[in-house]
């Protein structure tokens, strides 16, 4: 048995691969373009494992995807592949349109062709799980109810608009062609192997380096926070038992303003890696001009997945953030390499013989 995972060298995808291979003997075909945020060093522990087949490539390469499907005959495809950083989407939206919309379309077409030719039993068992974001729902006011699966799409950034478009394509392929799809919309993930442009790893890395801790606007933008390993377990559960064509919101039930996140990280670093002069890392906080169109609040109502599939997060924010800070303190070499680009050299030496053209 085999599954094909796209974007599986990125933060969430790589964590999913590590969790999957720790719990099953099923082979993973890992298709990743290796953009700046794709890092095979994250998957060093499974380098050489026959159950992990890495292929460098783009979901928009229809011929490559079709070839991989025909060669490996996966029972499922999980699509993590996406450009996902809001700030980058504001400055360079084209990459987001190409990967998140055009790439998803081409992936759907390749999967539709493969699925349509499967034997009846395999066809009935096949699944395509599309991983998306709560940002497609737009922004909530302070007193609004959290996002449910019925919430209207109101994306406010090029990133969230491109993900909304990909969600609609996935839905359309189910209703038009009968493609057996599942969609998940998750809240902000955090945890090990997170690229240090995102809030939590950026605060950790900058704090340890003695750099300013930049906080947008007043820091009161509210997000729901989900530990990445909890997200992985939810995706496994949706793949296993989700109803075809359905959407499942995945959240951590942890709504917190950004400034509280920064204060929590500083407090943990004060405890676990105190500064030599005895001062708090909070002194490095620097408020900066807010980004254009910054959504004020996201909140996920994860009742459906708990009610229908029996899933709920294992970690509280307090346990998850402590594990995250401890991981970054224990793995400074990963941070240095991902920032320097040294991991790209590692890819060449470690995977040159196994990557497929």
**Three-state SS letters, 82-132:** CCCCHHHHHHCHHHHHHHHHHHHHHHHHHHHHHHHCCCHHHHHHCEEEEEE
Active-site residue, selected from the candidate residues 83, 134, 230, 315: 134
Judge whether 343 counts as a catalytic residue.
no
Q: Residue 188 pLDDT more than 80?
A: yes
**pLDDT digit string (tens) for 78-87?**
999 998 777 7
Q: Residue 185 pLDDT more than 70?
A: yes
**pLDDT digit string (tens) for 286-335?**
999 988 888 899 999 999 999 999 999 999 999 999 999 999 999 999 99
Q: What is the mean pLDDT of residues 245-269?
A: 97
Nearest to 84 by CA among 21, 123, 33, 132: 132
Q: Residue 92 pLDDT more than 60?
A: yes
Q: What is the pLDDT of residue 348?
A: 59
Q: Residue 56 pLDDT more than 80?
A: yes
Q: What is the mean pLDDT of residues 215-221?
A: 94
Long-range contacts of 267-276 (CB under 8 A, 24+ apart): 268/321, 268/322, 268/325, 269/204, 269/207, 269/208, 269/325, 272/325, 272/326, 272/329, 273/208, 273/329
Q: What is the pLDDT of residue 346?
A: 53
Q: What percent of the chain stands above pLDDT 90?
A: 84
* Residue boundaries of the structural domains of the chain: 2-187+227-252+294-313+340-351
Active-site residue, selected from the candidate residues 159, 248, 298, 328: 159
**pLDDT digit string (tens) for 10-26?**
999 999 999 999 999 99
Return the CATH fold of 2-187+227-252+294-313+340-351.
Answer: Rossmann fold (3.40.50)
Q: Residue 123 pLDDT more than 90?
A: yes
Higher pLDDT, 353 or 33: 33
From the number of C-beta atoms within 10 Å of its C-beta (0-12, 13-18, 19+), residue 208 rates as middle
Judge whether 19 counts as a catalytic residue.
no
The mean predicted confidence, pLDDT, of the chain is 93
Confidence of residue 354 (pLDDT cuts 50, 70, 90): very low
Q: What is the pLDDT of residue 349?
A: 61
**pLDDT digit string (tens) for 235-244?**
999 999 999 9
Active-site residue, selected from the candidate residues 32, 83, 135, 255: 135
> For residues 134 and 298, is the Cβ–Cβ distance under 8 A?
yes
Q: What is the mean pLDDT of residues 52-63?
A: 96
Q: Residue 160 pLDDT more than 50?
A: yes
Q: Residue 356 pLDDT more than 60?
A: no
Judge whether 134 counts as a catalytic residue.
yes
Confidence of residue 357 (pLDDT cuts 50, 70, 90): very low
Confidence of residue 342 (pLDDT cuts 50, 70, 90): low
Q: What is the pLDDT of residue 93?
A: 92
């Amino acid at each position: 048995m085999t599954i094909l995972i796209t974007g599986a060298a990125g933060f969430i995808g790589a964590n999913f691969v590590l969790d999957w291979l720790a719990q099953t003997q099923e082979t993973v075909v890992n298709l990743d373009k290796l953009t700046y945020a794709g890092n095979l060093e994250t998957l060093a522990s499974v380098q050489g494992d026959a159950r992990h087949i890495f292929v460098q490539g783009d979901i928009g390469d229809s011929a490559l995807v079709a070839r991989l499907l025909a060669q490996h005959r996966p029972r499922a495809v999980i699509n993590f592949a996406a450009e996902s950083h809001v700030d980058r989407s504001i400055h360079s939206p084209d990459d987001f349109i190409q990967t998140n919309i055009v790439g998803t379309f081409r992936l759907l077409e390749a999967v539709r062709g493969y699925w349509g030719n499967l034997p009846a039993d395999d066809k009935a068992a096949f699944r395509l799980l599309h991983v998306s974001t709560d940002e497609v729902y737009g922004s909530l006011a302070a007193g609004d109810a959290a996002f449910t699966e019925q919430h209207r799409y109101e994306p406010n950034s090029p990133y969230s608009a491109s993900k909304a478009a990909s969600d609609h394509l996935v839905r359309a392929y189910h209703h038009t062609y009968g493609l057996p799809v599942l969609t998940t919309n998750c809240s902000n993930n955090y945890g090990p192997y997170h690229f240090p442009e995102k809030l939590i790893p950026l605060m950790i890395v900058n704090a340890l380096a003695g750099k300013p801790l930049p906080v947008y606007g007043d820091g009161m933008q509210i997000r729901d926070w989900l530990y990445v390993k909890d997200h992985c377990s939810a995706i496994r559960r949706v793949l296993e038992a989700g109803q075809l064509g359905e959407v499942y919101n995945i959240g951590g039930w942890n709504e917190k303003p950004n400034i509280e996140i920064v204060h929590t990280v500083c407090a943990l670093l004060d405890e676990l890696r105190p500064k030599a002069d005895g001062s708090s890392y909070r002194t490095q906080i620097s408020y900066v001009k807010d980004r254009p169109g910054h959504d004020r609040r996201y909140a996920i109502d994860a009742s459906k997945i708990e009610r229908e599939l029996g899933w709920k997060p294992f970690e509280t924010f307090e346990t998850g953030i402590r594990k995250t800070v401890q991981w970054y303190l224990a793995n400074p070499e990963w941070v240095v390499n991902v920032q320097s680009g040294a991991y790209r050299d590692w890819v060449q030496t470690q995977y040159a013989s196994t990557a497929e053209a």
